[in-house]
Structure formats: C-alpha cells, structure tokens
Amino acid sequence: MPLPAHSGQDQPLRYACSLPLAHGTLVRVPLGKRHVLGVVTHTSAPADFDGTTREAQPLHPDLPPMAPDWMALVAFAAGYYQRTVGEAAVAVLPPLLKHVTAKALTKSLQAPAATMATAHTAAEAAAVTPTAAQDAALQTWREAKRPVLLHGVTGSGKTEVYLRATADVLSQPQAQVLVLVPEINLTPQLVQRFEARFGAAAVAVQHSAMTPVQRLRHWLRGHTGAARVMLGTRLAVFASLPHLRAVVVDEEHDPSYKSQDGLRFHARDLAVYRGHQRQGLDPQARPTLLGSATPSLESWHAARKGRYGLATLAQRAAQARMPEVHVVDTRHIPAKAWLAPQVLADLQQAADRGEQGLVLLNRRGYAVALQCPGCSWKSACAHCSAFQVYHKADGRLRCHHCGSSARVPRQCPTCGELDIKPVGHGTEQAQEQLAHLLGAQRKADGSPWRVLRMDADTTQGTAALTEALAQVHRGEVDVLLGTQMIAKGHDFRRLSVAVALEVDAALYSADFRAPERLFALLMQTMGRAGRDQAHPARMWVQTGSPQHPVFAALAQHDYVAFAQTTLAQREQAALPPFTHQALIRCEARQMTSALAFLQRARDALAPTLGEAHLFAPVPAPMVRLAGRERAQMLLESSRRQLTRAAAQRVRQHLLGMARQGILRWTIDMDPLQI
C-alpha cells in the first residue's frame, strides 16, 4: 500500500477477500476513512491469527495480476532507492487506476490483440539496407550474455539497429520489447518509425504528456499483451510487460533518465537490472541494449572493464561526413555582436542553398534577470536562491525552479530607477535579435528568412511540438533556434550548419559532471548537421575559453579521448564511477535546523559505517528552494553494496530520530547533482 516509511507501517497489511486473489492482484482496500490502491503480496494468513480483517476488493475480475518479475522489480527498486514497496508500486502505476470505475476499465480492457503488419514490415525493412557495421553490432548483441553498449556516432544508424533488434525479438510468439527514450520530444518521431515497421496496433506509448485516460489504455495494452512494443520515457521502465524479451535504451547517457523527486530511480540502471532479471527467468530473453553517441562515463567504464559488451558504429550511414568544427573566440568579436560575423554569414549561405541552420542556446526566456544600473538590484526569487527570469512576451518574471511569477516592475523596487536592464540572453531575446539581423535581408531567391523557436515555452503540448518538428522536416524553416530539446535524437535531413552559444558556464561549474554533460550536448548538437548534405557541414562553438580540452576533443570528434582523460581525472579524485554515492538531503524553515538534524545523525552513525564514509553536512548548492532551506551530506564508498547497506542504516536511524518543526529528508542513491 502507498504508505511512506515515516508512517511506521512499511510492511504488508492483512485484509480478507471472499475471492481467491493471486500474488500481484491489484485491489482497492479501506485505509481509515478512504479507499486506496494496493497490490496483493501474500494470500494466506498465519494459523494463529484471530483478529478482525477488513475487505479487499479486486480492481477488476478480468484484469490480470502483476507478473512475479514485475513485483520483484518494484521490490528491488524500493529497496535500492530507499522507499517502501507500496510507495514504489503505486507510484509507477497509471494514476487513473486509483479512481477508474469498473465500467471504464472494462472498456479499456477491450483492446484488440496486437497484429503485426507483416507485409508492410517486410517492405519497409527491405527499403533500408543495413551497413556492415550495423550487422556486426546486431550480431554482437545476439551473441551477448550481458548488457551491450552500442557506441555509434550521430547519424550512424543506431535507430535502425534498434528496429532490427526489435524485429529479431518479435519473431518469437507473444514476445514484447521495451524501448526507452530520455525526453518526450523524441517520442513522436520514434513512434512513427516503430509504427511504420511493426504496425500501429503493435506499439504502445507511455510518457507524461499523455492524458490519464491515454496512459491507462496504453499501459493496459502492454499489461494484457495486446501491444508488442512499449515505447516511453523513464517511467516506462516499470511498464507491465508479461512477455518482455528485450529492453532498448536510446541516448542512455541522458540525465533525464534520473528522477529527481519521489522514487529517485535511474531508468537506465533499472533497464539493465530488468534485462538481467528477464534473462534469468526466460532463456529466450536478450540482454539490454544501451545506445549513445556519447555514452555516460559509468557505462563506458563498465564496457571497458568487460561488464558490458561493446559494439561500435564509427562511421555515418550513407557515406555522410561529420561536420567540421570551428571554435570562435568571443573575446575577438565586436563587443555588441551576438553572433560572430563568420557564423552569421555561414547561416545565410546555407539558407541560400536551400539548407537549414540550427542555433543552440540552452536558456529559455528573454533574459536571465532584470538589473537596476543605479543600485544593482536584481530580480531575485523571493522563495529560491535564484533569479526570476524575464519573459518579455507576456511581461512576466518567472522562477524556473519553484514556478513563482510576478509582473515586470515599472521601476526599480529599491531606488525607483526607471531604466531597468535585462541581463544575459535567452532564446526569446535570441529570436528577436536574429529577426533584427535577418529582417532587412532576403535570401538569394528573394524570399524572407524564416526563424522558428523551439523551447518549453513554445511547444507546450504534443500537438505544438509535432507541428514545429513537421515545419522543420517540410523545409519551411531556415534557422531553428532553441534549447537542448532541439539537439537530441532528431533527424533533420536539410540541416548543414549548427551553432552553440554561451556554453562557458558549464566549463567552470562546481559540478564535476558539468563538462561531461556539455561535451555530450555539443556532440549531439553537431550530430544534427550534415546527415544528408553534399555540401560539407559545419559546427560553430562561440566561447571565451577556446583552449579548453573539451573543444579539442570535440574538434576531432573524439569521444574516446575525452572519456579516457575524464575517467583518469575521476579516478584520481575518487569520484564516480570509481566510487558510489548517496546524498542525504534535508529541508527545513531554518538552515540551522536542517544542519543540526543531519549533524546529529552523522555523530551517531559515522563511527559505525565501516568503509563507507559519511561527510559532514553542508548547505546545498541551491540553498533555498520554494521557501525551504536545504542542507545535505554525502555518503560514499568504493563498493555499491557497501553504499546501499550504509544508506539503509542511515534511513532507519533517521526514521527514529526526533524532529522539531516542519522538516523533511530524502535519500538520493547515485545522485547526478551534488
């Protein structure tokens, strides 16, 4: 049942039912004055039990119980990520299951059985001839007994490998495949590819942009076996697929796979566990396939050590060439210039040839903040240790952390100055400046420039996102401007020039993973260009630190050199993947309360944790979030099992500690942000 650990009730509760209930049956049960969703874990009472019981009602007589391997997956996730089994189980089920009526559930269960579009599949597959490298990668995966990392440069045809691997598995009767993607904006494009290959009736989808009814219906199609392919974002790793035979993880390096609230799981790691679990239960199951042009250093290290198999696609498909990389020193361009002259000229020349350009600025809004030139007042968020971002289109200041907003002040709240200035650039301002630079000009054919902005503000909802991508694919856009959502996984055939702006902040961040994330983002951005162009493609990076090693590796398209150098630095500093970490976070109204609570825990626990080291508590990098002061302390050891065992001891101790005032704490296993 969905009871948190601090409730003191983290064991199964006993109920009665007049009907026989199998392990894994979903039920509604009374809890106090309300009814909640629960999962049956045991179906017999001890002989000495003589107490009273309340009645449990099956959710629906025709709804199959959750499979034993799904129950084991949830139990593992709950144990590793420090939650109760009931919390984990109910959190990963479709929300509508908690309230759906029997009539509505009956209607949703009447989905047609999956029908494979055999003739269409064969014709569509035959239209694409796999390269020798793709065939070799598939063979490596077919023969592997452990997870396989597919390291393929952008445009090398990793998606075709996924499709053919899926076709291999689906040749088995009833077999199902789970395909994970990091973000919603990649889902429509990949769904189209899979539906074209296997038929729409065989594919189900799971992501947060779907309505509750859609999520329930697609989940039921997987749960009942009506869908053969489940494609979704991180929560889909918990999809109920009773005949699962393989798991594919696209862009496995992406930090979006790590949940940052609730059950703080990492979908990639659970996908590896789930694939291994299925191999132990089913001799026909295949190992998990992880794909990326810039693998996470954890996965790359595992492949180098032999824990994962490694398959490589070193060349782009169809003889396409990788873009040339040019690093522009922003210290040598005019002070008021936003784009270097040579970058602007290249974008113009590409448009004249009927090609497209891409401009990446990974910051939405108009400006980072507003500032008063008189007294240096800035638009700080009243609830967070951050600035409220200026959105010019609707005249609002918004905090992108807690969601608070306010009208733009007519004058400085501190000194009354009227001339408040925007500080920094966002995509909204970049669009305005591009329009100014290009508005007075025409393309070679006399037509005007067409600039499209894609970020979270302009693509709210699946329909808006799909239409924006369709405009790019139809050639109705000359320059695509946006945040990181335009850099991941898209197959833009006309794009020949890519530009990355204002990337320096990540180079000198206190977060040791920042350079890895930046390198991956730049490689992904570069990979959008030159996929189907006779004219050489180019990647421009504007930076004030052109000598940084990240750009040297980028210019050579050399992920291996970057990974080796960074891993050597991590090993010397005893950082992941050479150590394993857990982060204990605490929130309170006052920082002193949060720090004192964690310090009391450390004083009691640190001498008893053996090889695991519990560091002293410190304020979090973002000290204040949504009106709460935040502190944290790091738990670390050289072995994952030791870190997990120590985290469990910390959790039990914290549950028993007295708390003063409103105080919350969480344990984040394998944190990506420290």
Reported as a single tens digit per residue, the pLDDT across 298-343 is: 999 999 999 999 999 999 887 788 999 999 999 998 877 889 999 9
Grade residue 113 by pLDDT with cuts at 50, 70 and 90: low
Reported as a single tens digit per residue, the pLDDT across 115-158 is: 555 434 544 555 578 999 999 999 999 999 999 999 999 989 99
**31 forms bridges with which residues in the sheet?**
34
Grade residue 46 by pLDDT with cuts at 50, 70 and 90: low
Question: According to the model, what pLDDT value does residue 466 have?
Answer: 86
Reported as a single tens digit per residue, the pLDDT across 203-217 is: 999 998 899 999 999
Question: According to the model, what pLDDT value does residue 126 have?
Answer: 53
Distance of alpha carbon 500 from alpha carbon 484, whole angstroms? 10
Question: According to the model, what pLDDT value does residue 534 have?
Answer: 63
Chain centroid to CA 522: 17
Q: Percent of the chain beyond pLDDT 90? A: 76
3-class SS at 665? Answer: strand
Distance of alpha carbon 398 from alpha carbon 391, whole angstroms? 7
User: What residues contact 3, with CB distance under 8 A and at least 6 apart?
Assistant: 9, 10, 84, 86, 87
Question: According to the model, what pLDDT value does residue 571 have?
Answer: 97
The secondary structure of residue 328, as a DSSP letter, is E
- The runs of H, that is alpha helices, within 398-461 are 427-439
Distance of alpha carbon 147 from alpha carbon 255, whole angstroms? 19
Question: According to the model, what pLDDT value does residue 658 have?
Answer: 83
3-class SS at 495? Answer: strand
Supply the DSSP string of 173-235, one letter for each residue.
TT-EEEEE-SSGGGHHHHHHHHHHHH-GGGEEEE-TTS-HHHHHHHHHHHHTT--SEEEESGG
User: What residues contact 509, with CB distance under 8 A and at least 6 apart?
Assistant: none
Question: According to the model, what pLDDT value does residue 229 have?
Answer: 97
The secondary structure of residue 8, as a DSSP letter, is T
**Token output for 314:** 């070193």
User: What residues contact 347, with CB distance under 8 A and at least 6 apart?
Assistant: 339, 357, 359, 478, 479, 497, 499
- The pTM score is 0.93
3-class SS at 130? Answer: coil
Q: Which candidate, 157, 153, 252, 255, places its Cα nearest to that of 527? A: 153
Mean of the per-residue pLDDT values of the chain:
91
Question: According to the model, what pLDDT value does residue 118 have?
Answer: 44
Question: According to the model, what pLDDT value does residue 572 have?
Answer: 97
Reported as a single tens digit per residue, the pLDDT across 422-469 is: 999 999 999 999 988 887 788 888 888 999 999 999 988 778 888 999
Q: How far is CA 14 from CA 42, 58, 253, 643, in A?
A: 9, 15, 42, 33
**Token output for 441:** 């000009």
Q: Which candidate, 361, 346, 349, places its Cα nearest to that of 433? A: 361
CB 186 within 8 A of CB 162: no
Reported as a single tens digit per residue, the pLDDT across 635-644 is: 999 999 999 9
Q: Dihedral of the CA atoms 256, 257, 258, 259 (nearest 10)?
A: 80
Q: Which candidate, 314, 357, 363, 318, places its Cα nearest to that of 528? A: 357
Q: Per-residue pLDDT for 254 more than 80? A: yes
Helix (H) or strand (E) holding 27: strand 26-31
Supply the DSSP string of 521-578, one letter for each residue.
HHHHHHHTSSSS-SSPPEEEEEES-TTSHHHHHHHTT-HHHHHHHHHHHHHHHT-TTS
Q: Residues 593-608: what's their mean pLDDT?
A: 96
3-class SS at 266? Answer: strand
Question: Which strands, in side-by-side order, build the sheet including 405-407?
Answer: 389-391, 396-398, 405-407
Please state, as a whole number, how many other Cβ atoms lie within 10 Å of the Cβ of residue 563: 21
Q: Is the dihedral of CA 421, 425, 428, 431 positive or negative?
A: positive
Side chain identity, residue 266 = H
3-state secondary structure 594-634: HHHHHHHHHHHHHHHCCCCEECCCEEEEEEEECCEEEEEEE
**Token output for 27:** 């039920």
Exposed, middle or buried: residue 501 (CB in 10 Å: 0-12, 13-18, 19+)? buried
Grade residue 345 by pLDDT with cuts at 50, 70 and 90: very high
Q: Residues 195-205: what's their mean pLDDT?
A: 95
- Of the two residues 32 and 554, the one the predictor is more confident about is 554
Question: According to the model, what pLDDT value does residue 112 have?
Answer: 60
Q: Name all domains of the chain by residue range, CATH numbers in brackets.
A: 5-66+76-91 (3.40.1440.60), 118-317 (3.40.50.300), 321-364+426-571 (3.40.50.300), 580-669 (3.30.70.360)
